Amino acid sequence: MKEKLTNNLGLKFLSITLAIFAWFMVVNVVNPLVVDSEEVPVEMINEDILSKANLTYDMVGKKTVTVTYEVRTRDRYKVSASDFYAYADLANLYDVTGSIPVTVEVIDRDARSLIEGGVTVKPGVVRIQTEELQRKKFEVVPHVNGKPEDGYAVGNVLVRPEYVYVTGAVSVVGQISSVGVEIDTSGADSDTSGSSRVILYDANGNELDDLGNDITLNRSEVEYQVSILKVKELSLDFQVSGEVAEGYRFTGVESDVRTVSVEGMRSVLASLGTIVVPGELLNIEGATSDVTVEVDLNELLPDNISMAAFSAQTAMIVLKVEPLAEQMVTLKVQKLELVGASQDYEYNFEEDEIAVWIRGLPEDLERLDVGALTGRADVTGMGPGYYSVEVVIDLADGFEILESDLLSVHIEDPNAGPGESEEGETEAETETEETSAQG
């Protein structure tokens, strides 16, 4: 076999060369007919026939047909798909099957002269599905993205027009949940405006970007205007009114919100320092327990000022009311200051200590240093004798004296004679009786 393949190798090569030359001569001299084909898109015409019937359509299967024709071998390259026009006339729609005959025309004159015989098309029909046409109105919802410059916030957002109309098959329009535009306010410190593309969204907020050929919009873009407002942080000023019940004390305000951010015109914000929560909302008259009030902060703002979107809109305020406790303590009389005492008299006390009843918050009473208590007794103008004097106790804020023993003091004049001393005692006793009667 090897010898058969290798013997007369030159003669065999010559034979192949002659065969190729002969084929080339036949093609160029005889120029035979060959069958060729092109894939041509089908155009639908007279669509207004369906539109007038409030219908739309969708093609089923391929949207192209294969056009077959005969052409001379040497002219084969001169014919292309663009030389053909394939169309289906919706006026010829067969309702039962939804089929429409396809017509093919050779629209290029040179190609028409090169094609011998006619052309054939396969398939000879295209099929469509018709569906009711819907025109639906959607509100254009602005979606603001991006953070403005520090100290600024997005105010009112206006779009024009406020609505757009979407037209398409009922099944396609039914996929649309909302229509909106995206607006970027990154770094903005003043009002901004412009135009933005209309976007279709599904029920999950995802963009429906594959419906472009299946629907039409009366507007593809809308104009927008965004006001950029100055933001200021204000503290809440709590103005509490009323008096708690006897035996109770108002101890302060607790609130889940202490400061809020508001936005508005710079000129208006400049005059604001706090937001006042008025006394009529924070009333503790006769209260015996905590008073809880929920306040809508928006109602407290002046005109042309509004709460920033990111700020708290309400405040839960607790007006703390606690019961008072009573405690009896003793005060050493040596710690009392005698106001108005005369150097000519001697002052003697019948007791070493007096009892004092104090009222205050339980935790404050626990911390009260009784040993550090001091007080005063006013003996101004009192001569020799026996007296019961009211004592004034020095107490810190938060405490009050309910009752205290009177200080029994005996005033003597060491320089007086025996008769004078008895007279003084009589006068002192009289004064003591008068003092007791007045008490």
Indicate the helix (H) or strand (E) that contains 419. helix 418-438
pLDDT (0 to 100) of residue 430? 41
- Alpha-carbon span 230 to 391, nearest angstrom: 61
Tell me if 361 sits within 8 A of 251, measured CB to CB.
yes
Report domain 132-229's class: mainly beta
226 vs 148: CA distance, rounded Å: 11
Dihedral over alpha carbons 91, 96, 98, 99 (to 10 degrees): -70
Contacts of 365 (CB under 8 A, 6+ apart): 325, 327, 358
Amino acid, res. 117: G
Residues 6 or more apart whose CB falls under 8 angstroms from that of 23 comprise none
Q: How many CA atoms lie within 13 A of 119 on its CB side?
A: 31
Query: What pLDDT shows up at residue 182?
Result: 95
For each of the chain's 439 residues, which pLDDT tens digit applies?
566 556 666 666 666 776 666 555 555 556 899 999 999 999 999 999 998 889 988 889 899 999 999 999 999 999 999 999 999 999 999 988 899 999 999 999 999 999 998 899 999 999 999 999 999 999 999 999 998 888 888 888 999 999 999 999 999 999 999 999 999 999 998 889 999 999 999 999 999 988 777 889 999 999 999 988 888 889 999 999 999 999 999 999 999 999 998 988 777 888 888 999 999 999 999 999 999 999 999 999 988 888 887 788 999 999 999 999 999 998 888 888 999 999 999 999 988 999 999 999 999 998 888 888 888 999 999 999 999 999 998 888 889 888 999 999 999 998 876 655 433 443 434 444 444 433 3
Distances (CA, A) of 397 to 124, 294, 394, 423: 104, 31, 10, 45
Q: What pLDDT does residue 101 have?
A: 96
Measured in whole angstroms, the distance separating CA 255 from the mean position of its chain's CA atoms is: 21
Rg over CA atoms, the chain? 53
Cα–Cα distance for residue pair 434/275, rounded to 1 Å: 58
Q: What is the pLDDT of residue 214?
A: 80
Residue 142 zone, left/alpha/beta (φ > 0; ψ -120 to 50; rest):
beta
CATH of domain 325-438: 2.170.120.30
DSSP letters, 110-158, are HHHHHEEEEEEEESSEEEEEEEEEEEEEEEEEEEEES--STTEEEEEEE
Domains of the chain, by residue range, sit at 1-28, 31-123, 132-229, 239-323, 325-438
Topology classification of domain 31-123: RNA Polymerase Alpha Subunit; Chain A, domain 2 (2.170.120)
Tell me the three state secondary structure of residue 413: coil
Q: Which residues contact 76 (CB under 8 A, 6 or more apart)?
A: 34, 36
Count the alpha carbons within 13 Å of 207 in the hemisphere toward its beta carbon.
10
N-to-C CA span, the chain: 152
Give alpha helix (H) positions in 7-140: 9-30, 48-52, 109-114
CA distance 79 to 279: 93
Measured in whole angstroms, the distance separating CA 340 from the mean position of its chain's CA atoms is 70
Are 401 and 356 within 8 A, CB to CB? yes
